[in-house]
Amino acid sequence: MTNFQTDDLPALFLLIGAATTGVFDEASDMVDRTPVCEACGRTEPKFGNVVVKLDYWRGQALMSVFGMFFVTGELRTALQDAEVTGIELQEVSMVGSTRRPERLHRLTVTGSADGPDSWWEPTGDECSSCGQIKRMPTRDGIRSSMVTDDPIPLRVSAATWDGTDAFVLPSAPTTPVVTDRFVAALTSISTKDVHLRPTDFVREK
């Protein structure tokens, strides 16, 4: 495989992280897990009422709380106006700091792709029922998922990309990949405390 970047494919960025501006309030109800596959016992988190307790907010448009991303109402509007795909936005409640955005929305990334690089490695066989493979992050993958000067690459196979503006790879499920359309909408509001890292498509010859 080789690096491939043409006019018919967007520029890509890894969403490495954003400022942590608070915690989940005790009123949140999101600890339940829903069974997905009886064969392998796989479950997925079930999110109910999410309440974010803001410790401080300094005008960030995109922020994180324990691995979840949240956007302000302004950024939500910018993303929708730009017709950014591959995301779901759900309004959540806020408590805590008196300085807060007017609205806050949980950002869920729904797009998908795959790639030749791996930050998470398989730890078992593929489930014959649901096709899921258990994975765990590698030491280099953990380091590369944070702000660092020498990350290992995380590229996207063009043939596997579903065409959305926000997606995740099975080899790095906690690090969203976003297109320049997403970044343009973000930039129009504020990139304060957001860490983005350029990456590339690859295409098989």
Predicted confidence (pLDDT) per residue in 150-196, tens digit = 899 999 999 999 999 999 998 898 999 999 999 999 999 999 999 99
The CA distance from 94 to 189, in Å, is 20
Give tens-digit pLDDT for 81-108. Answer: 999 999 999 999 999 888 899 999 999 9
Residue 32 is predicted with a pLDDT of 61
Q: What is the pLDDT of residues 36-60, one digit of tens each?
A: 788 787 777 666 788 899 888 899 9
Question: H/E element holding 121?
Answer: strand 120-122
Residue 43 φ/ψ, nearest 5 degrees: -125, 165
In the prediction, which pLDDT does 1 show? 37
Q: How far apart are CA 184 and CA 168, in angstroms?
A: 19
pTM check: above 0.75: yes
The pLDDT value recorded for residue 4 is 43
Provide CB contacts within 8 A for 26, sequence distance 6+: none
CA distance 202 to 128: 29
User: What tokens does 3 get?
Assistant: 């690096």
Contacts of residue 148, Cβ cutoff 8 Å, sequence gap at least 6: none
pLDDT number for residue 42 = 76
CB 21 within 8 A of CB 63: yes
Residue 114 and residue 167: Cα distance in Å, rounded?
Answer: 10
Residue 30 — very low, low, confident or very high, per pLDDT cuts 50/70/90? Answer: low
Q: Which two tokens stand for residue 170?
A: 């099975």
Tokens of 38: 């009886």
**Residue whose token pair is 């499920």:** 173
In the prediction, which pLDDT does 39 show?
A: 79
Contacts of 6 (CB under 8 A, 6+ apart): none
For residue 18, count CB atoms less than 10 angstroms from its CB and return exposed for 0-12, middle for 13-18, buried for 19 or more. buried
